[in-house]
Amino acid sequence: MFYTADRAEFAEGTFLPEEQSLIEGAAREIGRLLERMEAGEDRKKLEEQVRRADRLATIGQLAAGVAHELNEPLGNILGFAQLIEKTEGMGEQVGLDLKKIIDAALQGRQIIKNLLLFSRQAPAIRKPLDVNALALECQTLFSARCAKGEIALGLQLADSPALIQADASQLKQVLVNLALNAIQAMPAGGALTLRTSIDEMSGRVVLSVIDTGIGMGEEIRRRIFDPFFTTKDVGEGTGLGLSVVHGIVSAHDGDIHVESEPGRGSTFSIAFPRCRDLTASGECKP
Ligand code: ADP
């Protein structure tokens, strides 16, 4: 606060005591107003988080119910089709048709497995896992595919072992899903980076999958974790990849952070509680 015109300085300073207390009163009011606004924003964010978590949990329960119901008839279709397959003297066309039935049933089973993973109903075996090793494995897995798609695949690993307590096959699924999305987002080539880091402050291990692909706007970003939400053509995507990622990461007490800009690319970062030390029997120290 200041005077717009020059004024003589008072012994007390620039302002008279009455003015001083008026200014302090105004400052207090403004402070309160700002606090209220911040609290309001925090509450809104929290409400949104709860709403989303609620919605995902409900969809998860529903999906798990449907998945269990479908498992049995699908198992029958597969079992009997495989039985018929063993019949001798079957025409060639019948054999081909049968193979289609079996393939479709197997695909259905994979979708069910994904649904159960998403709803955290699949049993997990957690052991200490080095996320650096996981990223390395993923690099090997995708190197040929990236080379074919003109995608430069980079690896930036944390210096020390990035240990977490996790189910190795579920975590691999997370990384594979994220990497596949990244590759699909770069149809004209680009760069895919797998990065691991250790956040000492929060005691978390962070795994990031960074692409320079098509990115996404806010409209899409808000819905990416919803089951069956996809912007891809039939056969390209089922819309379950990120729902599965979300289910697995939450079950591991992790969280996901997404940054994306249309035309520039996306970064998916997932953070897990770090396992600092191992016990003599090779378990994570609590
Ligand atoms: P799917 O890949 O089968 O479509 P996902 O659940 O994995 O299902 O992804 C949902 C949607 O999120 C995708 O269809 C796409 O629109 C968007 N998406 C996911 N990852 C990326 C990415 N790396 N870049 C741009 N869009 C992405």
- pLDDT tens-digit series, residues 259-274: 999 999 999 999 999 9
Q: Considering just the CA atoms, what is the radius of gyration of the chain in Å?
A: 27
Q: What is the mean pLDDT of the chain?
A: 88
> Is residue 121 pLDDT above 70, yes or no?
no
The reply to whether 135 and 188 lie within a common domain is yes
pLDDT, residue 128, reads 93
The reply to whether 132 and 265 lie within a common domain is yes
pLDDT, residue 211, reads 98
> Is residue 115 pLDDT above 70, yes or no?
yes
Q: What percentage of residues in the chain have a pLDDT greater than 90?
A: 51
Q: Which domain holds residue 72?
A: 1-122
Residue 282 lies inside a defined structural domain of this protein: no
The reply to whether 116 and 141 lie within a common domain is no
Residue 278 lies inside a defined structural domain of this protein: no
Ligand 1 site, residue 267, Cβ cutoff 6 A: no
CA 65 from chain centre, in angstroms, equals 23
Q: What percentage of residues in the chain have a pLDDT greater than 70?
A: 94
| Residue 213 vs residue 20, higher pLDDT | 213
Ligand 1 site, residue 71, Cβ cutoff 6 A: no
Residue 67 lies inside a defined structural domain of this protein: yes
3-state secondary structure 116-176: HHHCCCCCCCCEEEEHHHHHHHHHHHHHHHHHHCCEEEEEECCCCCCEEEECHHHHHHHHH
Q: For atom 8 of ligand 1, which residue has the closest CA?
A: 239
Could you report the per-residue pLDDT of 43-73, keeping only the tens digit for each? 888 777 777 666 667 777 777 778 888 888 9
- Amino acid at residue number 6: D
The reply to whether 240 and 151 lie within a common domain is yes
Q: What DSSP element (H or E) covers 197?
A: strand 190-199
| pTM for this predicted structure | 0.69
Return d(Cα 130, Cα 85) in angstroms, integer. Answer: 43
What's the whole-number mean pLDDT along residues 168-189? Answer: 93
Q: For atom 21 of ligand 1, which residue has the closest CA?
A: 181
How confident is residue 120, by pLDDT bands cut at 50, 70 and 90? low
Q: Could you tell which of 183, 234, 242, 261 is best to mutate to test the pocket of ligand 1, judged by most ligand atoms within 8 Å of the CB? A: 242
